[in-house]
Amino acid sequence: MSILVGGDTKLVVSGLTGREGSFHGLNNRRYGTDLVAGVTPGKGGQDVEGVPVFDTVHAAVAETGANTSMVFVPPRYAADAVLESADAGVELVVCITEGIPVHDMLRVYTHLRRGSTRLIGPNCPGILSPGKANVGIIPAHFFSEGNVGLVSRSGTLTYQIGNELAGRGFGNSTIVGIGGDPIVGSSFIDVIQMFEDDPETDLIVMCGEIGGDEEERTADYIAENVTKPVVAYIAGFTAPPGKTMGHAGAIVSGSKGTAQAKAEALEAKGIRVGRTPTDVAETAARALGAAV
């Protein structure tokens, strides 16, 4: 079993006619994802390698039954693309676009909380359920089917930890990149609860980073609500104080938001924290009762 995306995913890509949208959308199709439509205003009636293009998400959903949307449009248009997908009744929106203004995301976040559409991202690598569906830019060849759920704020660290796990013979139920911006559609808590409810996920790995208090709040939630073992990694133990880091959400204020503070908060709740991706994989292996 997987969470969020799987064999029943019907994908529509906003921006499929663009260079990045077509490259990754078609790559998702090659993996096995059911790519049913693209959307680019003014280009309805065209197609991209046999995938029909519509002027609106509403038209695409009505014609193809799309239930998942991937947004690959420039930052100034991305918020409206997400809202259009929600208004069309799409169940899940994966927004890859980075650089969306925070004010726009506040508007999107507030609106989506009133409805049933779930947003993953923005500024994220997407979602991969190995052997079932890939929606985003995650390099699927790193991963195989298995029982480890992986959720991360970082894209490339997701790939590295996944590769470390694969090297020890572990596969994944689903990999979810929630995004590194200050405001994202889904939190660690949201995704971890889905893994907790997934009967085929036996262990959860969360990959956090410096900035904000998401990991600290998640530690409290795990202690009270999650029965499955959780292993964590926090990127940024060696980050120079005062240094501006890559993600917009990686903002440290005094001693708050540092890797050390986050690790201490997690460990205080009994959650094992690896200091390197290799350490995380070894800890996960021990937690699953495997030899390392």
Query: Contact 64/10 with Cβ under 8 angstroms?
Result: yes
In this structure, what CATH number is given to the domain that contains residue 230? Answer: 3.40.50.261
| Inside any domain, residue 212 | yes
Between the alpha carbon of residue 68 and those of residues 6, 93, 159, 238, 280, the distances in Å are 11, 6, 23, 38, 32
Query: Could you give the number of structural domains in the chain?
Result: 2
Q: What is residue 54's three-state secondary structure?
A: strand
Residues known to be catalytic: 247
| Inside any domain, residue 216 | yes
In this structure, what CATH number is given to the domain that contains residue 110? Answer: 3.40.50.720
Rounded percentage of the chain residues whose pLDDT exceeds 90:
73
19: which residues sit within 8 A by CB, 6+ positions away? none
The pLDDT of residue 291 is 35
Q: Copy the structure tokens of residue 239.
A: 């980050």
| Inside any domain, residue 174 | yes
| Inside any domain, residue 5 | no
Q: Give 285's pLDDT tier (boundaries 50, 70, 90).
A: confident
Distance separating alpha carbons of residues 203 and 13, to the nearest angstrom: 31
Residues 116 and 154 in one domain: no
Residue 33 has pLDDT above 90, yes or no: yes
Q: Give 42's pLDDT tier (boundaries 50, 70, 90).
A: very high
The pLDDT of residue 253 is 45
Residues 112 and 181 in one domain: no
Residue 241 has pLDDT above 60, yes or no: no
Query: Which stretches of the chain are DSSP H helices?
Result: 19-31, 57-64, 75-87, 102-112, 155-167, 188-197, 214-225, 259-268, 277-287
Residue 82 has pLDDT above 90, yes or no: yes
Query: Contact 129/148 with Cβ under 8 angstroms?
Result: no
Beta bridge partners of 203: 148
Distance separating alpha carbons of residues 214 and 186, to the nearest angstrom: 11
* pTM exceeds 0.95: no
Query: Contact 39/60 with Cβ under 8 angstroms?
Result: yes
Residue 252 has pLDDT above 80, yes or no: no
Q: For residue range 186-222, what is the model confidence (pLDDT) as tens digits?
A: 999 999 999 999 999 999 999 998 777 889 999 999 9
Beta bridge partners of 207: 152, 233
Distance separating alpha carbons of residues 291 and 286, to the nearest angstrom: 7
Query: Contact 175/201 with Cβ under 8 angstroms?
Result: no
Q: Give 267's pLDDT tier (boundaries 50, 70, 90).
A: very high
Q: For residue range 130-180, what is the model confidence (pLDDT) as tens digits?
A: 999 999 999 998 899 999 999 999 888 888 888 888 888 899 999 999 998
Distance separating alpha carbons of residues 175 and 3, to the nearest angstrom: 9
Can you tell me the mean pLDDT for 51-80? 98
Residues 148 and 230 in one domain: yes
79: which residues sit within 8 A by CB, 6+ positions away? 100, 101, 104, 105, 107, 108
Kindly report the average pLDDT of the chain as a whole number.
Answer: 90
Between the alpha carbon of residue 226 and those of residues 1, 160, 194, 278, 281, the distances in Å are 19, 25, 10, 24, 20
Can you tell me the mean pLDDT for 111-116? 96
Q: Left (φ > 0), alpha (ψ -120 to 50) or beta: where does 214 sit? A: alpha
- Domain that residue 113 falls in: 10-120
The pLDDT of residue 173 is 96
| Inside any domain, residue 204 | yes
The pLDDT of residue 240 is 55
Q: Copy the structure tokens of residue 139.
A: 């390099």
Residues 178 and 143 in one domain: yes
